[in-house]
Amino acid sequence: MADDAANRYDLIIVGAGPAGLCAAMYAGRGMLKALTIERGAPGGELLNTDLIEDYIGFESIKGWELAQKMTEHAKKFGAEIVTDTVERVRKAGDGWFAVTTARGKTYRAPAVILTAGGTPVKLGVPGEQEYAGKGVSYCAVCDGAFFKGEVLAVVGGGDAAVEEADYLTRYASKVYIVHRRDQLRASKILQERAFANPKIELVWNKRLVEIKGTDKGADHLVLEDTVTSESSTLAVGGVFIFVGFKPNAELVEGHAKHDAGGYFVTDERMMTSIPGLFAAGDVRSQLTRQITTAVGDATTAAIAVEKYLTTLREREKAGVAS
């Protein structure tokens, strides 16, 4: 492999959401030569979140504003952030990682922190792909304003579904939360907010089985009762799907230990089963996925990388193979 010294780093951080930006900030403070690669604007899922009310120190802050503050803080300590899409992370025979991107770049480093997050899980029902962008959405903040005055449905019962349903009521005339069970999985405070919102109506024990519409877009849902199996329809002007999240773990070539959901399993230093590969944030197996846990993971990972690199250098000086 041709080795361009300009593309050699101490650390490569994949993703610039809260975890990636925090890792970049700590890497800068640790005087590491680090590169952060992000496919879009820095901030990750913060840019798809309207209001943040559970990040300590900020009683209420817009998602884009927190993203901006985190980016500025990381850059203050010298963070180098490039816009590109990582396609593969591979550990080469010499022990260094080769990180290749969609723009044909290959960056090399002895350590990588993967903070690539994930993508929304699709239901895979008829009409979902056909009406994507024409009534089917996975981001209320991104698309909510396009549905002013409409009746909307949100599919799901977790925090994301309930929070996004509440957000959509500022645009929609009514929002149905369609859930396959008879109780929500969302946190109590979010449930109480939804129950108190006159624009939100819960549709219990219903599974979305098909999305139908016209050439203008989706206009109704076909539902199946999870108890009786009876079929019904629900007229809506759009449907927002929040049924899960798939970690972007497939970027890594080679087997790294993961849980049943595909999330990386790490040790207390955030290192995966591949030495030198660390994981932080939504891509890591853990109880909850919050901004606070993401930056906590990243803090540990970045400091652990410093110690890992020091150990590698000491072993090299002693002539011990890594």
- State how far the alpha carbon of 271 is from the alpha carbons of 52, 86, 279, 284, in Å: 29, 20, 6, 10
22 is catalytic: no
Is 248 strand, coil or helix? coil
Check residue 71 and give left, alpha or beta (phi > 0: left; psi -120 to 50: alpha). Answer: alpha
CA dihedral over 309, 72, 117, 249, signed as positive or negative: negative
| 89 strand-pairing partners | 99, 252
Fill in the amino acid letter for 214.
T
Q: Per the residue annotation, which of 10, 50, 84, 139 is the catalytic one? A: 139
What would you report as the CA-atom Rg of the chain, rounded to the nearest whole angstrom? 22
- Find the helix or strand (DSSP H, E) in which 302 lies: helix 291-317
Q: Per the residue annotation, which of 142, 182, 259, 267 is the catalytic one? A: 142
The distance from CA 76 to its chain's CA centroid, rounded to whole angstroms, is 25
Q: Per the residue annotation, which of 143, 159, 282, 297 is the catalytic one? A: 143
CA nearest neighbour of 139 among 129, 154, 125, 127:
154
142 is catalytic: yes
- Cβ pair 87, 98 in contact under 8 A: no
Residue for token pair 């890497």:
27
- State how far the alpha carbon of 13 is from the alpha carbons of 23, 183, 232, 285, in Å: 8, 39, 48, 18
Is 234 strand, coil or helix? strand
Give a three-class secondary structure readout of 73-89: HHHHCCCEEEECCEEEE
Q: What are the catalytic residues?
A: 139, 142-143
